[in-house]
């Protein structure tokens, strides 16, 4: 049973829909006792998961039961926030009619970052993932809602070729829209009525952890959850595009060592050995080789320190990301003990309310809870051969080939971590350049 499920997921090219794109066939090939469906809709404004739970819950439950069978788990929790009333009712109805008795609805508190895997594990199971660890170490698999939706289709031999994307901000029409993987961002924004402002930036992902696109001719990938159009001076945008050298300089001179970043850090509240204020202090003193610097490896880059905690408006998250990049390039990893950390005694009183966070971010006016808009069909897609953690897929088509939606165009390299890539529309392979396959509808 497990081998068949893993092979179908692998063939379908499924990767984590809510994170960095870890190949799902690797994640589910394990023995656990619990599966968590991450429907937290953690990032403000992103609404595709609540939509799927409201409208496609039967398919999501099919995917969940598949993973329960595959991993041998005895319990599956569908986790979402009570504020999504229609989705809550849909899930509860599905749980009530499920005959296996293994599935439970878990109502999450409305805080950030409730969708962080390690925070979610703690909230639902009471277990704490070790430092630099993963949920598998405490007997848990965490799967995004859309990943389970795709798993259910994979059992019918339907590969992953589409992605649900929230389009919001300064656009003509807010929407959740199903698009072929490889859709050009500019085409999708045009479908949404275009930008309402002349000068704008586009955030790929959520306002907290998303990245600002340097070019809107980039494609939607398997991990694109949202596109947010904002003014260039908006506080969600400004620090994401700041020069790294300037970030380091400002941090080293402005940080007042209030410790708020550490006291509200979700990973520190779980008991992990990370103290962002000490990392900031290390920059002030020019000490780049101390233990505080190594603690940056434990940062989940949720941005709570930057967007909510810091009274000085500096960016501990950005600094941590820069340090992590340097350390990992040098092959340095966190040497964890593997032991369960002891949670901070005030953890349960330091949740960051989503409403207050949205006020700080100045995005409350964009919280429109859009519904699905149908009818988007692009004339052309550009499909990257790397949309996941691991090695890029090996191209299996040539310029001039005719392909049908679902055809394999990228294979996992032998003995490598990766994911398959499939054509997302019918058409002609027009170009293959820099690891991107361009297909034009004919």
pLDDT in tens, 349-362: 999 999 999 999 99
Please tell me the predicted confidence (pLDDT) of residue 287: 56
Query: β-strands 226-230, 201-204: how paired?
Result: antiparallel
Percentage of residues in the chain with pLDDT exceeding 70?
98
Please tell me the predicted confidence (pLDDT) of residue 366: 96
Domain spans, the chain: 2-154, 240-361, 379-442
pLDDT in tens, 329-346: 888 889 877 778 899 999
State the Cα–Cα distance between residues 422 and 157, nearest whole angstrom: 12
221, 384 in Cβ contact below 8 A?
yes
Q: How far apart are the first and last CA of the chain?
A: 40
> Poorest-confidence range of 190-199, 248-257, 307-316, 363-372?
248-257
Please tell me the predicted confidence (pLDDT) of residue 335: 84
Residue 289 has pLDDT above 60, yes or no: no
Confidence tier at 104 by pLDDT (50, 70, 90): very high
State the Cα–Cα distance between residues 185 and 229, nearest whole angstrom: 11
What is 207-276 written as a DSSP string? TTT-EE-S-TTSBP-TT--EEEEE-TTSHHHHGGGS-HHHHHHHHHHH-----HHHHT-HHHHTT-S--H
Joined together, the tokens standing for residue 125 give: 């199971």
Domain 2-154 sits in CATH 3.40.50.150: no
Phi, psi angles (nearest 5°) of residue 220: -70, 135
Residue 188 has pLDDT above 90, yes or no: yes
| Residue range 379-394: mean pLDDT, rounded | 96
Confidence tier at 80 by pLDDT (50, 70, 90): very high
Please tell me the predicted confidence (pLDDT) of residue 314: 85
pTM above 0.85, yes or no: yes
What is 131-194 written as a DSSP string? TT--GGGGTEEEEEHHHHHHHHHHTTT----EEEEEEEESBSS-EEEEEETTBBHHHHHHHTT-
Please tell me the predicted confidence (pLDDT) of residue 271: 95
Residue 285 has pLDDT above 60, yes or no: yes
Confidence tier at 292 by pLDDT (50, 70, 90): confident
Please tell me the predicted confidence (pLDDT) of residue 254: 85
pLDDT in tens, 232-245: 999 899 877 677 77
| Residue range 211-217: mean pLDDT, rounded | 93
Beta strands across the sheet bearing 201-204: 175-180, 162-169, 226-230, 201-204, 211-212
Joined together, the tokens standing for residue 2 give: 């497990």
Please tell me the predicted confidence (pLDDT) of residue 123: 97
When the pLDDT of each residue in the chain is averaged and rounded to a whole number, the result is: 93
Q: Mention every residue, 6+ apart, whose C-beta is less than 8 A from residue 111.
A: 351, 352, 353, 354
Please tell me the predicted confidence (pLDDT) of residue 22: 93
Please tell me the predicted confidence (pLDDT) of residue 338: 73
The reply to whether omega before 113 is within 30° of 0 (cis) is: yes
| Residue range 128-143: mean pLDDT, rounded | 95
Percentage of residues in the chain with pLDDT exceeding 90?
79
Determine the 3-state secondary structure of 278 from DSSP.
helix
| Residue range 399-420: mean pLDDT, rounded | 97
CATH class of 379-442: mainly beta
pLDDT in tens, 33-64: 999 999 998 899 999 999 999 999 999 999 99
- The b-or-e profile of 352-378 (16+ CB within 10 A means b, else e) is bebeebbeebebeebeeebebeeebeb
State the Cα–Cα distance between residues 75 and 139, nearest whole angstrom: 11
Please tell me the predicted confidence (pLDDT) of residue 196: 97
Confidence tier at 247 by pLDDT (50, 70, 90): confident
């Amino acid at each position: 049973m497990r081998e068949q499920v893993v092979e179908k997921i692998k063939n379908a090219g499924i990767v984590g829909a809510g994170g960095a794109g870890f190949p799902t066939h690797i994640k589910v090939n394990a023995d656990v006792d619990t599966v968590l469906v991450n429907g937290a809709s953690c990032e403000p404004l992103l609404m595709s998961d609540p939509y799927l739970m409201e409208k496609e819950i039967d398919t999501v439950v099919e995917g969940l039961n598949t993973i329960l069978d595959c991993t041998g788990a005895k319990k599956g929790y569908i986790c979402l926030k009570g504020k999504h009333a229609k989705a809550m009712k849909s899930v509860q109805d599905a749980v009530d009619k499920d005959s296996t008795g293994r599935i439970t609805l878990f109502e999450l508190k409305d805080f950030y970052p409730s969708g962080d895997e390690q925070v979610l594990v703690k909230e639902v199971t009471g277990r704490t993932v070790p430092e630099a660890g993963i949920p598998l170490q405490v007997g848990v698999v965490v799967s995004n809602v859309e990943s389970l939706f795709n798993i259910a289709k994979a059992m019918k031999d339907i590969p992953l070729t589409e992605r649900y994307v929230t389009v919001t901000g300064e656009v003509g029409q807010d929407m959740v829209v199903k698009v072929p993987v490889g859709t050009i961002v500019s085409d999708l924004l045009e479908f949404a009525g275009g930008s309402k402002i002349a000068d704008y930036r586009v955030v790929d992902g959520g306002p907290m952890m998303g990245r600002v696109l340097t070019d809107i001719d980039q494609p939607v990938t398997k991990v694109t959850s949202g596109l947010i159009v904002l003014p260039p001076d908006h506080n969600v945008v400004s620090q994401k595009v700041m020069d790294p050298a300037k970030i380091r300089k400002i941090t080293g001179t402005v940080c007042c060592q209030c410790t708020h970043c550490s006291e509200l850090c979700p990973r520190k509240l779980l008991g992990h050995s990370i103290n962002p204020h000490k990392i900031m202090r290390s920059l002030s003193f020019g000490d780049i080789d101390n233990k505080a610097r190594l603690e940056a490896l434990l940062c989940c880059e949720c941005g709570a320190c930057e967007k909510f905690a810091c009274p000085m408006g500096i960016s501990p998250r950005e600094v941590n990301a820069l340090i992590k990049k340097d350390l990992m390039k040098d092959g340095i990893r966190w040497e964890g003990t593997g032991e369960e950390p002891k949670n901070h005694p005030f953890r349960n009183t330091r949740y960051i309310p989503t409403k207050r966070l949205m006020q700080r971010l100045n995005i409350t006016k964009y919280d429109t809870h859009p519904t699905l808009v149908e009818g988007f069909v692009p004339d052309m897609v550009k499909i990257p051969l790397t949309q996941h953690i691991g090695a890029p897929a090996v191209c299996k088509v040539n310029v001039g080939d005719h392909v049908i939606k679902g055809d394999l165009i990228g294979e996992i390299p032998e003995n490598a971590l990766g994911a398959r890539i499939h054509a997302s529309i019918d058409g002609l392979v027009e170009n293959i350049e820099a690891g991107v396959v361009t297909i034009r509808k004919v």
